[in-house]
Chain A
Amino acid sequence: MNDLKYVGKPSPRIEGKEKLTGATRFVDDLDFGPGLLYAAIVESSYAHALIKNIDTSRAEDVPGVVKIVTGKDFPYRFGLYMHDRYVFAQDRVRFIGEQVGAVIARDPVTAKKAAALVEVEYEELEPLLSVYDAIGEKPKGIIHPDLKNYFHVPWFFPRADTNIAHLRKIRQGDMEKGFEEADFIFEDEFIVPRYAHCAIEPHGAVGFLDHSGRLTVWTASQSPYTQRHLFTQALEPLGFSHKDIRVISPAVGGGFGGKAGVSMEILAAALATVVKGSPVKVLWSREQEFYNTYQRQGVHAKLKVGVKNDGTLTALEEILYWDAGAYVEYGANVVNAAGLSATGPYRIPNLKIDSVCIYTNLPPGGPYRGFGYSEFIFGLESHFNEIAKKLNIDPVEFRRKNAIREGDTLAYGGKMNPNGLLEAIDKVAEAIKWDKEIKSDDPNIVMGKGISLMWKAPAMPPNAASSAFLKFNEDGSVNILVSAKEIGQGFLTVMAQIAAEVLSVPPDRIRVEEPDTDRNPYEWQTVASHITWGCGNAVKRAAEDAREQIFDLMERALGKKRDALYLEDAMVKSHDETDFKLPLKDFVIDGIMMEDGTWRGGPIIGRGMFMPEFSSALSDPETGQGGKPNVHYTVGAAAIRIEIDKQTGRIKVPKVALAVDAGKAINPAMVKGQVIGGIIQGLGTILYEDMRFDEKGKLLNPNFTDYKIPTSMDIPDEIIPIIVEVPQPDGPYGARGIGEHTMIPVAPMVANAIEDALGIRIKSMPITAEKVALSLST
């Protein structure tokens, strides 16, 4: 691996110039001509209500209105892992802001005006706004009375006639014995609220059904193929098959999971079907972005941990109550993924975990960077830190002692992959000089340090696949077609580097093309931090396929000895013949001319596909054992120093270090970019972002004015990104994903540092300046 030429280098982004010059076109930048129609949504003003009547007559009279639709026009259920969701609400609404109908008009002002004139009559039901409203003997209502009839993937276990959409159980070892062996048992509860992705580009989609019956949908999406699949499923009653629907995803202005699956994009697809021949745009406002797209689910965590005197963990009992929102077609898998990994990267022999997915009358929960791990690790790492302190064990030592190792048994029975967790712990502790005592001269300022570990495995169906086509051009440059999505993570460049390494064509001579389901081959979704691994493998295979064709041709046409051939500097060379140097551009389209004037070869087109064949979601529903639902884990650690102003409660971060085991950092600059971005996003959740609902379930701060995401003034003084590389055996060049992971340890690490500084343990997020100041002054 030492003689890699392109992999492992901080190559500049291949799409950099486009983005820096404003040339990149996002969905709302595309021009659809003067025939473009605009949709405005009629939204529910109740969190839980029956729809008695919808009167669209006044709206229909507004000149410029083309069509008005409501739930009765689209009585279809759909969803990713569970079919519990509707294009428009049917007989009832389940959260404030839910789409009840839409007005399609010739211009946005008319659409907006007319939408305000649609009159909906509701019969209010009691809203269930907390998990405790929804579970137990007497829940305040049943949000999905039809739950037992919903299709779902075989690894979900809904409880009919309750608000429990899924329950992931883990039972391993012997809990009684585990607690008996413990010298201490520590119990506690932690609360993590909902969070918003706040990608700077709002959701948007344009649908166009032409008169031949072809439906094209342009979506700002991380998942064009999955979108096509869900659109086809949802609109199947209208006679669509997969080939009739085309999904194109132009540039996406940030996803963070919020643009995965299908949320508002179904509206563009559905509305297009009622205005045949005209494209219709559905563009979300920033407010809608907050209350009617996926949110990161809230969770109430109860932990009971057995530990020996010397700090060895003996048993973990964990209950996670997830506030999953009105529809859980995607969010239920967050609950599932968390349940399977709720031990964190630790070796714990006896486990009892219940991860419960609970319907509430709040916006639908769904995928958000970390996919349940950020949510549960807050409680876990806070609790472990408390335990360490109570046992008088240094928090870093506690982590080292209990850290999971290669080959250890995972919560679901599988085995832990090779990983550099101990190295990560050592490096972050070193980076912030953990053992050094640092105090401030200012009597108002108190300093603290905190550590947290992290891990995550891609949460995917066992057959999530990636594929790639690779084609050469006349001048030897390359186009790679994939359906993974550049959402800012830099994967286009990484794919180019992988192909470059195999084919010896430099990355700046390679283009990687944005998804179009007609032209680019299948990719499950750009989520789960799995693209570098999955799509990277597919691209590598496509490049190798192309290389094999090249070598075939050398053998056939020129009689070269295959074993001696290699590629270098975009030329075919031979170890046997030092002056054989055939430039790729000479034959990758044209082929090779023989002496008699006939040609051999032709355009070189590589094809690669990667689907893990060792992953299985089948497990015992009562114990969670037996499957192999997770392909591998990426691990890491982070450590932070903070300064707290005791009077104001304000926290500053002089230094934070985060180490992530990337297996092989194909582009170290991209990895560092994810570390910095992930840390800042994590700091946002622990220090500033504070979603507020009123007692009726209305989101009170659906804007940046009152939902504060970090600005350039709120950054740490110093961030130290550390790349650990313990190769992933089945990853391209040893790589595994890291995109989500860099956010995961941040919240608990800060909570631990606050406890270190002030001796106060705050068990709910966010830990705002107000919370700190008031807990100090009382």
Chain B
Amino acid sequence: MPPAAKNLFEKRFLDLQKLLFKEIKMYEITFTLNGEKRIVGVQSNETLLDVLRYKLGITSPKSGCERGDCGTCTVKLNSQIVKSCLILAVEVNGQEVLTIEGLMKEGFTPLQEAFLEHNSFQCGYCTPGMVITAEALLETNPNPTDEEIKEGLSGNLCRCTGYIPIIEAIKDHVKKRGAEQ
């Protein structure tokens, strides 16, 4: 709020200021992003996807359709995968967000190794969302059937691979992990 005017000249200046300045409500949110506490000011109409990509420099979640159909914006919110293009940034105040960068605190994961081995990607655009979704699937369902894998991935569209190499990588990873235990 601008201070009260001391004289007529100041009053006229402050009146002019009121005409020129529009108040924008910013909401300060505090949340954990990939394990790190972040504080950032956002407007209520900014989506989580937009804030991640354009304010915080995390470009791995993508804007493929803006309707929650394609899955390229998939991130983890607390313990679940969500479509970040359909979440307002303000909603994640006090929550935990994980993107693919956060998955790799200890480097390339065994699932990513499996994806590399099986060529479970081509252009790479759907890949960050696909990896997050696959990792989350295996967290909630460590030994999925083929049908459960397909269902688990069904919210992530891929135009290049035809999905089969992705499914094979997941199955192979589960098998290898089972053999190790």
Contacts and interface: CB of A to CB of B under 8 A. Distances in A.
Contact of B156 (A15, A26, A703, A712): A712
Nearest to B101: A22
Nearest to A28: B63
Interface string A6-34: 00000011011111111011101101000
Interface string A245-262: 000000111111000000
In this complex, the member of A29, A256, A489, A719 whose beta carbon has the largest number of chain B beta carbons within 10 angstroms is: A29
Nearest to B153: A712
Interface residues of B, number: 49
Nearest to A197: B159
Contact of A715 (B100, B125, B150): B150
B150 to A, nearest CB: 5
A759 B55 CA distance: 59
Interface string B114-151: 01110101111111100100000000000000000111
Interface in A477-503: 486-490
A406 to B, nearest CB: 31
Given A200-B72, A256-B159, A712-B153, A488 B123 contact: yes
Contacts, number: 161
Interface stretch (A45-53, A233-241, A538-546, A673-681): A673-681
Contacts of A703: 65, 67, 69
Given A712-B150, A712-B156, A712-B166, A24 B70 contact: no
B159 A20 contact: no
Contact size range, A: 35 or more
Interface SS majority for chain A: loop
A624 interface: no
A26 B164 contact: no
Contact of A673 (B69, B99, B159, B165): B165
Closest 8 CB pairs of A and B: A253-B125, A22-B60, A19-B124, A488-B123, A488-B122, A680-B162, A704-B69, A29-B59
B16 to A, nearest CB: 15
A678 B164 CA distance: 12
B156 A22 contact: no
B108 A20 contact: yes
In this complex, the member of A22, A197, A489, A669 whose beta carbon has the largest number of chain B beta carbons within 10 angstroms is: A22
B177 to A, nearest CB: 18
In this complex, the member of B104, B108, B158, B164 whose beta carbon has the largest number of chain A beta carbons within 10 angstroms is: B164
A105 interface: no
B111 to A, nearest CB: 9
Contacts of A676: 161-162, 164-165
Contacts of A200: 62, 64, 70, 72, 123, 125-126, 157-160
Nearest to B58: A22
A737 interface: no
B57 interface: yes
B30 interface: no
Contacts of B162: 676-681, 710, 715, 719
Contact of B119 (A13, A285, A680, A704): A13
A712 B116 contact: no
B60 to A, nearest CB: 3
Given A13-B116, A715-B150, 6 more contacts: A22-B131, A202-B64, A705-B69, A710-B162, A711-B163, A719-B164
B96 interface: no
A712 B154 contact: yes
Contacts of B77: none
B53 to A, nearest CB: 8
B127 A22 contact: yes
Given A200-B70, A256-B159, A20 B115 contact: yes
B65 A669 contact: no
B116 A20 contact: yes
B167 A712 contact: yes
12 contacts: A15-B124, A16-B116, A18-B124, A22-B99, A25-B59, A201-B125, A202-B63, A254-B122, A254-B123, A254-B160, A711-B157, A712-B156
Contact of B124 (A198, A488, A710): A488
In this complex, the member of B63, B104, B122, B156 whose beta carbon has the largest number of chain A beta carbons within 10 angstroms is: B122
B93 interface: no
